[in-house]
Amino acid sequence: MKHLLSAEDLGRDEAIAILDTAEQMSLLGDRSVKKLPTLRGRTVVNLFYEDSTRTRTSFELAAKRLSADVVNFSARGSSVSKGESLKDTALTLEAMGSDAVVIRHPASGAPHRLSSWIRGSVVNAGDGTHEHPTQALLDAFTMRRRLGRVNDLSVTIVGDVLHSRVARSNVRLLHTLGAGVTLVAPPTLLPVGVETWPAEISYDLDAVLPKSDVVMMLRVQAERMNAAFFPTEREYSRRYGLDADRMAMLPDHALVMHPGPMVRGMEIASEVADSVRSTVVEQVANGVSVRMAVLYLLLGGSPE
């Protein structure tokens, strides 16, 4: 594996090798010295053209725990604001000796283009509404840890599927790993062609909750919307939000997941976000282990 651009690129064995390696990496998090010398002398550039809290800091920590040198580049405050292109920016960073570029970009397909311009590895940290493969990997890792497997789980993904790269990557990876996925959203927030995805579609959240092992709530991505996709926030929340009454319809073992950032009171009630079923904080912790595994495997490690 040279790049990680899409969850679609991952076969079952490859995905499981990443999850197993992440399991090893997570042991490090329990030690007082949380560092391995594996990537000493290698340079990882975080190239972020979009805002991010979790993903950027998580990749930074992951690279540092493997002893790589890390350069954090954000488009704001750089020559990007002077009109420099992605290609020129990337070639500049490569000239300084970067071995891997972790990129988040508002344009779907940007990481793919980048991989044809530079010699090093490219990791997609979210491109437009397209994919976010490390998020899907950390979500699968969290499910496997909590429920013992991913195969045969019923996973319900709820909300703004249209704008969600998290949903796209999760549908693909979960399908590869043998889970059954149901998407629940208002018809206006489902993408054209969704019927060709390996997932069921439902418009009735209450009907699918009792059959779900995992329910994954998505944020309504207002910043990507240029029109009204639903009548009011109250109406959205009433039909597609997860509150305590709805959560009570889940089986006892079921998990509530959210990739963050959460809009409390909109897609998820505070009492649900903070409940014992919620894995939101665990997902963040697991993200570091999964990204360590990805960087390790891409930059020359073998999964033993």
For residue 76, CA distances in Å to 29, 103, 175, 177 come to 32, 14, 37, 38
Among the listed ranges 95-103, 108-116, 240-248, 253-261, the one in contact with ligand NCD (CB under 6 A) is 253-261
Select from 43, 98, 135, 156 the one that contacts ligand NCD (CB under 6 A).
Answer: 135
- What kind and span of H or E run contains 126? strand 121-127
CA separation for the pair 180, 152 (Å, rounded): 6
* Residue facing ligand NCD at closest CB distance: 219
Among the listed ranges 41-49, 63-71, 81-89, 255-263, the one in contact with ligand NCD (CB under 6 A) is 255-263
Give the residue with the Cβ less far from ligand NCD, 198 or 261: 261
Q: Shortest gap between Cβ of 283 and ligand NCD (angstroms)?
A: 8
Select from 259, 273, 292, 295 the one that contacts ligand NCD (CB under 6 A).
Answer: 259
Q: Shortest gap between Cβ of 104 and ligand NCD (angstroms)?
A: 7
For ligand NCD (CB under 6 A), the number of binding residues is: 12
| 166 in contact with ligand NCD (CB under 6 A) | yes
Among the listed ranges 109-117, 189-197, 257-265, 273-281, the one in contact with ligand NCD (CB under 6 A) is 257-265
Residue 75 token pair: 């488009």
| 120 in contact with ligand NCD (CB under 6 A) | no
Q: Shortest gap between Cβ of 56 and ligand NCD (angstroms)?
A: 9
**Residues 61-100: x/- map of binding to ligand NCD (CB under 6 A)?**
----------------------------------------
| 46 in contact with ligand NCD (CB under 6 A) | no
Q: At what angle do helices 110-117 and 86-95 cross, to 10 degrees?
A: 50
| 279 in contact with ligand NCD (CB under 6 A) | no
Q: Using DSSP bridges, classify how beta strands 154-158 and 214-217 pair: parallel, antiparallel or unpaired.
A: parallel
| 219 in contact with ligand NCD (CB under 6 A) | yes
Return phi, psi of residue 150, to 5°.
Answer: -115, -35
> Within a 10 A sphere around the Cβ of 85, how many other Cβ atoms?
10
| 58 in contact with ligand NCD (CB under 6 A) | no
Question: Helix or strand or coil: residue 43?
Answer: strand
* DSSP states along 197-208: SSSEEES-HHHH
Q: Shortest gap between Cβ of 33 and ligand NCD (angstroms)?
A: 28
| 191 in contact with ligand NCD (CB under 6 A) | no
Select from 221, 282, 285, 301 the one that contacts ligand NCD (CB under 6 A).
Answer: 221
For residue 224, CA distances in Å to 33, 163, 288 come to 41, 7, 27
Sign of CA dihedral 41, 52, 22, 1: negative
* DSSP states along 169-235: HHHHHHHHTT-EEEEE--GGGS-TTGGGSSSEEES-HHHHGGG-SEEEE----GGG-SS--SS-HHH
For residue 71, CA distances in Å to 25, 68, 99, 132, 133 come to 22, 10, 11, 21, 21
Q: Shortest gap between Cβ of 98 and ligand NCD (angstroms)?
A: 22
Residue ranges binding ligand NCD (CB under 6 A) = 54-55, 126, 132, 135, 165-166, 219, 221, 259-261
